[in-house]
Each structure stands twice: as C-alpha cells, then as structure tokens.
Amino acid sequence: MDVFTTSDGTDIYYKDWGPKDAPAMFFHHGWPLSADEWDGQLMFFLGEGFRVIAHDRRGHGRSTQTDNGNDMDTYAADVIELVRALDLKNAVHVGHSTGGGEATRYAARADPGRLSKVILISAIPPVMVRKDSNPDGLPIETFDGYRQAVAANRAQAYLEIAAGPFYGFNRPAAKVIEGSVRNWWRQAMTGGIKAQYECIKVFSETDLTEDLKAIDVPVLLLHSKDDQVVPYVASAPLAVKLLKNGTLKTFEDLPHGMPVTHAELVNAEILAFVRSEGAAASAGAEPATAA
C-alpha cells in the first residue's frame, strides 16, 4: 500500500502500478467510492503498457477520514501535491462522476507540463444543481434526500443506490451483477460518513464553468442519455461547449456506472482518445448505442 501525506497532514492512499517511465494515467473515482472503482481500467491499461495511478480521495476509501477539507478546492490541491510527489509528466487524467469534477478542477490548475489530456465519464460538470445557468439541473431537494438517507442509514442507502440507478439495474431488461453491487457497497462503507455527507454538497453545488473554460488540453466526454444519476441534458452537452478542445461521445442506453458495466467499451474509447495525436474541437458527436 502506498500512502502520501499532504501538507495538511492527510494520508492519501494510492495505487501506482507499471513502469515509472511509461505514459501515465491518473484515475479519479466517484462518490462515495475509492480507487477500487477503477480496477477494470487499471488492469486493462497496465496491459497496454501504461503506468496507472488511482487514489482514494480524502475521507473516502482507505485515506484519512477527514473532518476538514471536504471541498473541491482541497480535493484538487491534494491531487496537485500527489502528482508533484510522483513527478508525473504529461499524464492523462480520467474522472468518473464526482471524480470528473475533481479532474476538471485539477486540470484547470495543473502545473505546466503535468497534463496532456482529460477524459470525463458520466461527470458532474458544469454543475448539477438547478440554477439560473442550468435550469435543467436537479432541484436541491434531490440532494437533501441524499443527505437525509446517508445520515439516517448510509448502509441501506448505499445498497439501494448500487442495486438501482447507479448501474441501471432497476431497468426492466437489466441483468443485475451481484458482485458489482456488493463491491460498490464495500467501497462506500470503507470511507468516512462525515466526508461522504459533505461531499454531497461538493458534487451537487460546485460550479465548474470557469474551470472548463480554462482547460487548454484535449478533453473527451463520455455520457449516456440514460444516466439516472447525472442527467445528460444538464451535463456533458453543456460542458463540451465551454471547452476549448472538447469532444463528446453520446450513448443512448448505458448507465451512470458504465466504466464497470461496460468496461470493454469504455476502455476502448479511452484508449483510442489517449493514442490519438490530437482531438478536434467539437460541440458534440452522433449518439452511439451500446451493443
């Protein structure tokens, strides 16, 4: 186990696998999970010759169950410190859901030469909560419901999220993968309830509009119209318009947790983008349907 201690004394657990001189990929997990969310990607990209890094965000997984610093600025600052400590150069950063917000804020503030590309999957930018700039966002009452459920009985709440909307297992034709439900629940219960509770405000109310505008490197966004957690209409199509060099790949029927349920498809999209010489600026792409 590798542990990095931040400047404020927080221990950040991370995985760092593969040749240290290989092209680096850094993975940012979603709420309320851990680096283990990316197991399918870590093994795949190791096999493709990459160095892969994934951390447990403060308060999540095996990292310190923090009292303070459970906010997007601190999340990004932790990543900046870890990237410097590992001396990563021209790394690709991949973020899912809340991790997509973290990757976005990091990318807007990254040291020169540390970042080459960004991939955002089912990600929260620009902002999830309904507001004047995002009238199609979710009402604040939705997130109040998350808070109430976590505070009252997070074990039950997390089971219902994993078995339902996160992986789309509540859809009539869905084939439930019991191991994925249990693994989601295991990761979630490993983290600290206070940090996870406070992260609900982070993923719902953090406005990443200016961060998206500030990113200079190519960005790929993967999002599905059937995402039941981060609504498509209020996220990726808006985010890609704010980017200087963004490409949106839209799917019709994938769930929010597509990196797990459709790892083969997602991995192929990431690999093609990472290996491409560049990415032409785009406001969108033709919808794609998973086989």
Within a domain: residue 19? yes
pTM above 0.85, yes or no: yes
> Residue 211 catalytic?
no
Residue 282 lies in a domain: no
Res. 278 pLDDT band, cuts 50 70 90: low
Is residue 93 among the annotated active site residues? no
Q: How far is 205 from 290, CA to CA, in rounded Å?
A: 31
- Residue 217 pLDDT exceeds 80: yes
Tally the domains of the chain: 1
Phi-psi region of 87 (alpha: psi -120 to 50; beta: other; left: phi over 0): left
Predicted local distance difference test score (pLDDT) of residue 283 = 36
From the candidates 36, 78, 211, 227, give the one annotated as an active-site residue.
227
**1-58 pLDDT per residue, tens:** 699 999 999 999 999 999 999 999 999 999 999 999 999 999 999 999 999 999 999 9
- Residue of 29, 55, 223, 256 marked active site: 256
In a domain, 286, yes or no: no
Reported as a single tens digit per residue, the pLDDT across 139-186 is: 999 999 999 999 999 999 999 999 999 999 999 989 999 999 999 999
Does any domain span residue 290?
A: no
194: part of which helix (H) or strand (E)?
helix 193-205
Task: Report yes or no on 285 lying in a domain.
Answer: no
In-domain check, residue 289 = no
* Contact indicator for 25, 91 with CB cutoff of 8 Å: yes
Digit-coded pLDDT (tens) for 65-112: 999 999 999 999 999 999 999 999 999 999 999 999 999 999 999 999
Token reading at 58:
């403060």
Q: Is 29 a catalytic residue?
A: no
Mean pLDDT calculated for residue range 256-284: 84
Domain containing residue 133: CATH number:
3.40.50.1820
Is 143 inside any structural domain? yes
Calpha distance 129→138 (Å, rounded): 5
Catalytic residue among 97, 204, 224, 235: 97
Residue 188 lies inside a defined structural domain of this protein: yes
Task: Give me the residues paired with residue 247 across strands.
Answer: 220
Domain of 239 in residue numbering reads as 2-275
